[in-house]
Amino acid sequence: MSRLITLADRVIPAQAISEHLEARPHPLGNPDGPGARPRWNRLAWVSLVLGAVTLWGLGSLAAIPTGLVALHQITSASDREPQRGKVVAILGVILGAIGTATLSLMVLQLTS
């Protein structure tokens, strides 16, 4: 009489399973699992907060390079670790530019 082989009868070493899973990239490109969302870029949020909170202060000067670095990180992120926050970084750069322009106009107005 033939016997059906079930998974309970087979012992698969854990190392073979992990090697098999590491060799295949995830179909969605995200190592956190199926349906997992890409992570937010923290520098993008820092740029937005600096640009919004200190709209006419020195923080708006820091919002511009912070946002540009965040944009570079987001666009150069690999498919295995995608990042979110491109619009947030752009908004941080825009608010930083508005704050810097306003600050420079205020300084020019005060000195003349």
pLDDT in the model for residue 36: 64
pLDDT in the model for residue 62: 92
CA distances from 33 to 20, 21, 38, 65, 80 (A): 15, 12, 10, 33, 11
Q: What residue ranges do the domains of the chain occupy?
A: 38-111
pLDDT in the model for residue 10: 62
pLDDT in the model for residue 79: 73
pLDDT in the model for residue 108: 92
Contact 96, 63 (CB under 8 A): yes
Q: What string of pLDDT tens digits covers the 112 residues of the chain?
A: 455 545 555 655 565 555 655 555 555 555 555 556 788 999 999 999 999 988 777 888 999 999 999 999 999 987 778 899 999 999 999 999 999 998 899 889 999 8
